[in-house]
Amino acid sequence: MPVVRNLGRAASQLLQSSGCGCGVSLVPVRAIGVSPRQVASDASFHSVTFSESDHPRVLITGGLGQLGVGLAKLLRKRFGKNNVILSDIRKPADNVFYSGPFIFADILDYKNLREIVVNNRITWLFHYSALLSAVGEANVPLARAVNITGLHNVLDIAAEHNLRLFVPSTIGAFGPTSPRDPTPDLCIQRPRTIYGVSKVHAELMGEYYHYRYGLDFRCLRYPGIISADSQPGGGTTDYAVQIFHDAIKTGKFKCYLRPDTRLPMMYIDDCLKATLEIMDAPAEALTMRTYNISAMSFTPEELAQEVQKYVPELQVTYNVDQVRQAIADSWPMNFDDSNARRDWGWKHDYDLPELVTTMFSYLGSDSRIAQAN
């Protein structure tokens, strides 16, 4: 295991600005040369008093990203506020800080992360810390450190302390040689981004730790996630968020993908529901450790037609970005999630019409929308 060195202030600033919700340690990361069962139990235990003792104690890393805050809210409603700890290396907004426990956690600081797990008697860990595709391509060594070395730290700690571990994967874990319509759970995976490569690595390492050490590892491959409370960040699937903002503000939308580009998508509430359901599922019901999940699959043209039911005068033009189009053309057009539906009863709530209605209801009514309704 190579030691991470000289990431420096620039790397830390990149992480702070990327919104990825992950950390960089400026000290060498420990080399992983022994199995989790051989790690000495030398951490100090501290008694933590909490009333909901029958519930899991949850830690979410990278918790200030698109999914972490929403997941914490869902889990706190289910298990009690004090049983769910949100963590990140960035300063949270006041409403997040005061909504429940929040701590600083750097996934590359193995000792500190281990102390957090021990001191707070963590039993479930949701590992969302990662550099996403665009930021990762701009700094591959940093992405390799965070997405792979950070994952190894989490895997060892989870195995040592018998945690139930969730690590999300992505539509980007597939590549141009994968079957695209539909894409099954098990098929060739040859992604062409460091983010996709690191996610395939996570899937395989999680499965290995499950079979080698008995780690209760669980993973979902997310499609494009659509949310009203996060701004589009320029990603390949973000057009499906941008169109709503532009429809309300200007009535004009310029799409960077071809009108016939079909991709699997999901509303954030379905995504969070699926994440909790896979963690709740009995271990004996799971026939695999990594599952596709899907809700809908649509093209920019189909989405625009649905949006125009609310904003009839919306003008849509297409100015194809060749880089993002090439990425989209290498991704699945439809996810086959039949195994998730069979094994643990996955069922989505939002199709395209419900998605559009919900997005407009959250983003606020405009005179154009009010008239259409």
Does residue 191 lie within any of the structural domains? yes
Structural domain harbouring 186: 130-371
d(CA 306, CA 355): 10
pLDDT at 234: 64
d(CA 156, CA 221): 22
Does residue 95 lie within any of the structural domains? no
Q: Which two tokens stand for residue 184?
A: 């099954």
Q: Which of 98, 110, 128, 195 is catalytic?
A: 195
Mean pLDDT by 10 residues, the chain (373 residues): 38 39 34 42 36 80 91 96 96 95 96 97 96 81 94 98 97 94 96 93 98 98 90 79 94 96 97 97 97 97 97 96 88 96 97 96 64 46
- Maximum distance among all Cα pairs of the chain, rounded to whole angstroms: 67
User: Is the link from the previous residue into 28 a cis peptide, with omega within 30 of 0?
Assistant: no
Does residue 182 lie within any of the structural domains? yes
Q: Give the count of domains, the chain.
A: 1
pLDDT at 10: 39
Residue with tokens 């595709």: 133
Q: Hey, is 69 helix, strand or coil?
A: helix
> Do the strands 224-226 and 252-255 form a parallel or antiparallel pair, or are they unpaired?
unpaired
Beta strands, E only, the chain: 58-61, 84-88, 102-104, 124-127, 164-166, 169-170, 216-222, 224-226, 252-255, 263-267, 290-292, 296-298, 315-318
**195 is an active site residue:** yes
Beta strands, E only, 256-308: 263-267, 290-292, 296-298
**Could you count the other beta carbons within 10 Å of the beta carbon of residue 91?**
12
**Could you count the other beta carbons within 10 Å of the beta carbon of residue 41?**
9
Phi, psi of 315 (to 5 degrees): -100, 125
Q: Residue 272 sits in a domain of what CATH number?
A: 3.40.50.720
Are the C-beta atoms of 189 and 174 separated by less than 8 Å?
A: yes
Are the C-beta atoms of 314 and 253 separated by less than 8 Å?
A: yes
Does residue 114 lie within any of the structural domains? no
Does residue 139 lie within any of the structural domains? yes
Does residue 146 lie within any of the structural domains? yes
Does residue 92 lie within any of the structural domains? no
Tell me the whole-structure pTM to 2 decimals.
0.83
Q: Which two tokens stand for residue 214?
A: 């008995």
Does residue 335 lie within any of the structural domains? yes
Are the C-beta atoms of 223 and 264 separated by less than 8 Å?
A: yes
